[in-house]
A and B are shown apart, each in its own frame.
Chain A
Amino acid sequence: MKELTIEAKTENLDEVLEFIDDILSEYDCSMKLQMQIDVAVEEIFVNIAHYAYDPGTGDAVITADVSGDPSCLTVTFADSGVPYNPLAKEDPDVTLNVEDRQIGGLGIFMVKKSMDGVEYEHKDGKNVLTIKKALV
């Protein structure tokens, strides 16, 4: 299991993605799979950066592990910010026309759609979001 503690700000997104992609590089991931995972990690990390500590700043602790057969990636994101369950938000209507379309909520919707599992818990004063994705 690998762990990264990093200040939750969007400028650090590249470092977070490098941390994940380093782990994925040991596995034979398709471009599509790699992108799904990167998008999920980006959307979750950016959410924390934008909202968890607003208007201040704080850390996000990200752990990543690959286990099982077939291999499954598990990534957890923990922050000590405002308690917030992003999964409780209603899914955006993706059938609306251009003028009525809203982007809010689309990021988390993409995470739900592309990952095999997404779970939230509030534990020891922390928001903990866990995503799982089979590396096949």
Chain B
Amino acid sequence: MLNISKEKNGKACTYFLEGRLDTTTAPQLEGDIKESISDVNSLVMDLAKLEYISSAGLRVLLSAQKTMNKQGSMVVRNVRDEVNEIFDVTGFADILTIE
């Protein structure tokens, strides 16, 4: 189960993810991001309520990061310890901008 909410303000967009970003829910986020960020130059992913991430979720974050590298910047913030552990193990801690 993943709840996606977002705040868009001009060219800035913040996603708030709540629940689990896994094989089942990742396509939902991927579709939403594709539709929403074409005119965005500042993307923030707030993971304060994200409890779980698997490689399917990492794929979506990587894809968003690649898109934002071309048109602006992306920041990941409020990462929980359990999720941060996954970022560390996979080297994602080095390719994402985590605040």
- The chain A residues found within 8 Å of chain B, CB to CB, are 10-11, 13-14, 31-32, 35-36, 38-39, 42-43, 46, 94-99, 101, 103, 106-107, 109-110, 113-114
Structural contact, B69 and A98, CB atoms closer than 8 A: yes
Shortest C-beta distance, A101 to chain B (Å), equals 6
- Interfacial chain B residues near A43, Cβ < 8 Å: 54-55
Shortest C-beta distance, A7 to chain B (Å), equals 15
Select one of A39, A94, A96, A97 contacting B54, CB under 8 A. Answer: A39
Q: Which of A36, A38, A101, A114 has the most CB of B within 10 A?
A: A101
Identify the closest chain B residue to A105 (Cβ). B55
User: In the complex, A46 Cα to B24 Cα: how many Å?
Assistant: 10
Query: Which residues from 24 to 41 on chain B have a C-beta closer than 8 Å to any C-beta of chain A?
Result: 24
Structural contact, B58 and A106, CB atoms closer than 8 A: yes
- Interfacial chain A residues near B66, Cβ < 8 Å: 98-99
- The chain B residues found within 8 Å of chain A, CB to CB, are 22-24, 51-56, 58-59, 62, 65-66, 69, 81-82, 85-86, 89-91, 94-95
Structural contact, B22 and A103, CB atoms closer than 8 A: no
Report 30 cross-chain contacts, Cβ distance below 8 Å, ordered by A residue.
Answer: A11-B24, A13-B23, A13-B24, A14-B24, A31-B81, A32-B85, A35-B51, A35-B82, A35-B86, A38-B52, A42-B23, A42-B54, A43-B55, A46-B23, A46-B54, A46-B56, A94-B89, A94-B90, A98-B62, A98-B65, A101-B62, A101-B95, A103-B55, A103-B62, A106-B90, A107-B54, A109-B90, A110-B55, A110-B89, A110-B90
